[in-house]
Amino acid sequence: MTTSQGQVISIRGSVVDVLFPHSLPAVYSLLIAGENKQVALEVMTYPSSGLVRTIALTPTQGLARGSIVKNTGHPLQVPVGNTLLGRMLNVFGEAIDGKEQLSASKWRSIHAAPIPLGDRSTITDIFLTGIKVIDLLAPLEKGGKAGLFGGAGVGKTVLITELIHNVVSRYKGVSIFCGIGERSREGEELYREMQEAGVLNNTVMVFGQMNESPGVRFRVGHAALTMAEYFRDDLHQDVLLTIDNIFRFIQAGSEVSGLMGQLPSRVGYQPTLATELAELEERICNTASGSITSIQAVYVPADDFTDPAAVHTFAHLSASIVLSRKRVSQGLYPAIDPLQSDSKMLTPQIVGDRHYQIAQAVRQTLANYEELKDIIAMLGLEELAQSERKIVYRARRLERFLTQPFFTTEQFTGLEGRMVLLKDTLDGCELILNDDFDAYPEQSLYMIGSIDEANN
């Protein structure tokens, strides 16, 4: 046995203990085992002298006690560069789209330190999406992190697809989609939708699928970030990194932690939840040469926003977009809750005084309507004072004006997608708030782009 070789001592599910009698591999080193070198292991800890505890990134079938394990001498690496565009990859950088394998010349370690604070850009820019309700009430930060919160089936993936479509066509940047714990059906549908929308050629898709080991789901986010960092730092491009779903990254970390024998923390999560999430999130930032803007779908377990996974994710975000099941039932798409969604960018210093005042007036009107709903349900609209009725009419028109047909759902709705300029959104909301559209039926404002499309 050479100095770079060890042998398997024990196998417990995805955890493999390996004895290295001569020299220990470094933490995060990639080890290769199995007859055909088909088992990949990543070093996690050192339980005792000469022993390393690893997590398997591939199935451990065929591995047995006494099997020889080889230290590659480097961490898990992924390919980077323009050759990745239009392709679908796994955590090892292997093509999984049925086409020929990649012939990338540059490979990078998936583990990297965040950019030092001194090298980050301090200029705050708004990242316009062309989606009315987001640009008005929860504007995204260029180089920031936005969370899409919602339970199952409220439209997180549809919204992410639309954002990719709008960003690629508006910013001419690069989009990286990272699927953590995705079902194969979702990945295949997304691939076809992107192909049909014409955005695939500027997109890299990286998947750690639901049926893969927790080690893969735990590391696929780092792999996608490494590819994004190359586009930002070496090719000086703006990158949109969409992650679906960040909760499954936390879940994979919890599985890995349990397998490693760590004591669970609150609600059964891993004790290292905050650190692991920060290691991933802090690498997403702005520099003078380019930016990585991240939009992350966050599954909220049982719609409980006090869950530790949701709480820790909130701490990293500059904008929170909350999707509401109630709005889905009302047919208001995108089903974004205007009262719960918020952004740190929505201040007069950043968005300007006019945008701030209109956004506050819209939110106030909708909040007042929410309070009046109980009275309307019990006594009817007729029992309200004239001023309160005005609020209800305004709020209902605003709710419908903030709906929008999407490009990615054209084949389902039959409505042509709209990308709306921020100026058109502000003008429309201002006119509705000033009662200029009182004579128009509510339905004329439903599923339109700018206010000019409303027909009496």
Active-site option among 106, 170, 183, 266: 183
* CA gap 57, 59 in Å, rounded: 7
Q: Which of 335, 333, 358 is nearest to 448 (CA)?
A: 333
Residue 22 makes CB contacts below 8 A (sequence gap 6+) with 3
Helix, strand, coil tally for the chain in percent (to 5):
40, 25, 35
> Alpha-carbon distance 148 to 343, whole Å?
12
Q: Which helix (H) or strand (E) holds 294?
A: strand 292-299
Q: What are phi and psi of 292, to 5 degrees?
A: -115, 115
How many helical (H) and strand (E) elements, i.e. helices and strands, does the chain have?
13, 18
Q: Identify which of 196, 257, 192, 207 has the alpha carbon closest to the alpha carbon of residue 15.
A: 257
Beta strands at 174-182 and 145-150: parallel, antiparallel or unpaired: unpaired
Distance CA 407, CA 231 (A): 26
CA distance 212 to 241: 22
Strands 140-141 and 126-127: antiparallel
Examine the residue annotation and report whether 183 is marked as an active-site residue of this protein. Answer: yes
281 an active-site residue?
no
Identified catalytic residue from 182, 193, 229, 399: 182
Q: How far apart are CA 43 and CA 418, in angstroms?
A: 49
H or E element in which residue 297 lies = strand 292-299
**182 is annotated as an active-site residue:** yes
The residues pairing with 216 across neighbouring beta strands, listed in sequence order, are: none
Catalytic residue among 132, 156, 397, 400: 156
The CA-based angle 70-75-76, given to 5 degrees, is 95
Query: With contact defined as beta carbons under 8 Å apart, do 360 and 347 qualify?
Result: no
The SS3 call for residue 10 is strand
CB distance 33 to 39 below 8 Å: yes
Q: Rounded CA gap, 322 and 446, in Å?
A: 21
Strand, helix or coil for residue 204: strand
E runs forming strands in 90-235: 106-109, 126-127, 140-141, 145-150, 174-182, 203-209
Instruction: Answer for the pair 161, 190: CB distance below 8 angstroms, yes or no.
Output: yes
Q: Which two tokens stand for residue 82?
A: 């323009």
Is residue 317 within 8 A of residue 145, CB to CB? The reply is yes
Which residues form the catalytic set? 156, 182-183
